Amino acid sequence: MAKYDRLLFILNLLRTRKNFNAAKLAEECGVTERTIYRDIISLSEANIPIYYDKGYKYASDNFLPPLNFNIDEYLALKVALESSPLYKSGFSRKLMKSIKTKIEACLTPAVKREKIYFPDTMDVSIKATHAPNVSEKFFAGVEAGIKQNQTLKLTYNSIQSGEVKREVDPYFLIFIERAFYFVGYCHLRKDFRTFRIDRIVDLSLTEKKFIPRQGINPAEYFKDSWGVYGGEPIDVEILFSGQAARVVSMGKHHPNEEIEVQKDGSVLYKVRVSGIEEISHWIMGFGGDAKVLEPPALIDKIKAAAESIRTNYK
Using alpha carbons only, give the angle 230, 233, 236 rounded to the nearest 5 degrees: 110
First to last CA, the chain: 66
Predicted local confidence at residue 89, as pLDDT? 65
Q: Looking at residue 132, what is its pLDDT?
A: 59
Per-residue model confidence (pLDDT) at position 131: 63
Q: Please tell me the predicted confidence (pLDDT) of residue 286.
A: 95
Structure confidence at residue 283 (pLDDT): 95
Q: What is the pLDDT of residue 146?
A: 94
Q: What is the pTM of this model?
A: 0.65
> What number of residues does the chain have?
314
Check residue 37 and give its pLDDT: 86
Q: Are 145 and 173 in contact (CB under 8 A)?
A: no
pLDDT tens for the chain, 314 residues: list them.
678 778 888 877 777 666 788 888 888 888 898 898 888 888 887 777 777 777 887 776 555 555 578 888 888 888 888 887 777 666 666 777 777 777 776 777 888 888 888 877 777 777 776 665 666 778 889 999 999 999 999 999 988 888 999 999 999 998 887 888 999 999 999 999 999 988 999 999 999 999 999 988 888 888 889 888 877 889 999 999 999 999 999 999 998 899 999 999 999 999 999 989 899 999 999 999 999 999 999 999 999 999 999 998 87
